Structure 1
């Protein structure tokens, strides 16, 4: 079923952020599952294709709180919650790059209705690349903010939290213990410390940022979905080969990486530009995994400049 309908505000969409005033939030139904998205039509004179932004693991479209309003001043802009995240349905299913790519491709065709410039962060970059690989006729340009090469657990979290994710895997088969651990993980103080280990700009770890990670964990089925997500990420079928997809790029692609990234280290970018003449790499000094948020004005400017010249 493909439909797009307004619905009453949810906890995430009611956050006191600029997103609720800067654009429109709707729900779209895909394969019977509820999917949240944000959009702004952009200015009448826009000469760029629509932009579609895809968030990273554990996040949601609110992660683009400092980007969507600025980008929508020059182009039509959309952002989407991947299935299992944000205000999208916490589906009881195995997840993977191919499933999310199918969701995004159907959204482009059914809701946007024309080829887009795809922008993805981390897990979202993996999904965006998979969309471009499978449906290159619907993607005009591709911008990737860090790219986990194997789509595995290093994209989950940083530092001491990463060790905990290994423990989570061993608890998936024990629902009681999983619920207890999830109750710990969803605490605002716990998530604030985790985010402080990822961000290089400390004042960006504010209450709005913490809440955009906390609120979805209260949704019905959230604990069960975490089990499916963890189990899915350990399977060989979670993602196609990233290097194979890079080697067959059909659209201009920008890869942005922070040299202080503690989640997916910049060393992983070595040799990637040799895989395709359509791929360009920019390493940004002094910023980390969430460079789009840590230095949003610089990111917005770089992205738009590249979109205009590509």
Structure 2
């Protein structure tokens, strides 16, 4: 059975305990390359692609679409071409007999509220405390849950800290200021409170601009579809996010973030609507939008700042981004690495988490 490889339900988020195959991309008997998309995995929040951990031939689809199973459960078998059906049957039986679901209580770290001089900031830490620190900064309307796929991949190499910006998630809704510089001040306050020193920074959209503001305190920068590289922005998303009150409306708004809007689950929609009902959220979102996207344009230009950055910089963009044009990644300084992802929208860290994680780890190692 040495040529057989188990495909198991992947853990695609720190809090994920179960999932199901929404669709197989490969049929039994088809060859698959390592890293090739082999199935769509659906969680309660979102659907994401599962990349094959090995090359070979898909011999069995053990799990039929639509059946929910625990993380780690066998879903398929890949073969290098040497096993017969009897060997595969025995391999499946052995895998299923040996499988024990992980205890839910130990499956995910809990978010914490960190007191800082600008107010409480919610953060979620994962990874070894003695590893290099890496901060994850979400975009407008997001929260630390946006890193549900990327953070576990990075936590194997870094002490990762995903935060909620002021006005978002579980952080303070009182804003001393709503522009990028003030948001960066809040991130710096969180870093001091946690004793982080210089950190690797990963920022998405508005969070990308915040990360770039903090470049002097960084070890490396990863900017995902960042604000600040051009004037255009899709205000239908910004204003629609602020205005949406019903699930159907929010589903349509959140759908703009992805190349495939059907990836969004009802739980994600409901979670965003619950957040928007919190006291102070509406005013905070309106203030942030007014400070950074007045007159339907990006008000901050940070493109020139890249030339002065003295640490490795990776700019990642989905070619199907409907919020900020992927053309904003053109003509950047030669020192900046640029990764463009086809068939990917504004959320490359959710749609292409594995590829992006590999690039971040390689850049940080440099």
What TM-score do the two structures reach when normalised by structure 1? Answer: 0.76
1:71 maps to which residue?
A: 154
Greater helix proportion: 1
1:104 to 179, 187, 203: 187
Match of 2:128 in 1: 42
Task: State how far apart, in whole Å, the 1-side matches of 2:284 and 2:232 are.
Answer: 16
Q: Give the aligned partner of residue 186 of structure 1.
A: 245
1:93/1:108 Cα in 2 relative to 1: closer, same or farther (>3 Å)? closer
Correspondence 1:251 to 2:311? yes
Once the 2 structures are TM-superposed, how far is the Cα of residue 93 of structure 1 from its aligned partner?
Answer: 4.2
Separation in 2 of the partners of 1:295 and 1:215? 27
1:61-140 → structure 2 map (5 Å cutoff): 61-132=144-215, 136=216, 138-140=217-219
**Residue aligning to 1:3:** none
Q: Which SS does the other structure have where 2:111 is aligned? A: strand
Q: Give distance in 1, aligned partners of 2:330 and 2:105.
A: 36
- 1:265 matches 2:344: no
Give 3-state SS (helix, strand or coil) of 2:219's partner. Answer: strand
| Residue 280 of structure 1, CA deviation | 1.2
The aligned residue for residue 29 of structure 1 is: 115
* Number of residue pairs the alignment of both structures matches: 265
Alignment of 1:224-235 (within 5 A): 224-234=283-293
Q: Which residue of 2 aligns with 1:173?
A: none
Q: Which entry has the higher C-alpha Rg, 1 or 2?
A: 2
Render the CA deviation track for 1:160-179: whole Å, top value 9, x for unaligned: x34x83xx8xxxxxxxxxxx
Residue pair 2:322, 2:345 contacting (<8 A) in 1 also: yes
Of structures 1 and 2, the one with the larger relative CO (CA 8 A, separation 6+) is 1
TM-score (norm 2): 0.65
Q: Indicate the structure with greater strand content.
A: 2
Q: 1:92 to 1:122 in 2, by over 3 A?
A: closer
RMSD of aligned Cα (Å): 3.0
Inter-CA distance 231–152: structure 2 relative to 1 (3 Å threshold)? farther
* 1:83–1:100 Cα contact (<8 Å) kept: yes
CA separation of 1:227/1:260 partners in 2, compared to 1, >3 Å: closer, same or farther?
closer
- 2:222 corresponds to: 143
Please tell me whether residue 53 in structure 1 is matched to residue 110 in structure 2.
Answer: no
1:261 touches 1:287 (CA, 8 Å); kept in 2?
yes
Structure 2 match to 1:220: 279
Name the counterpart of 1:195. 254
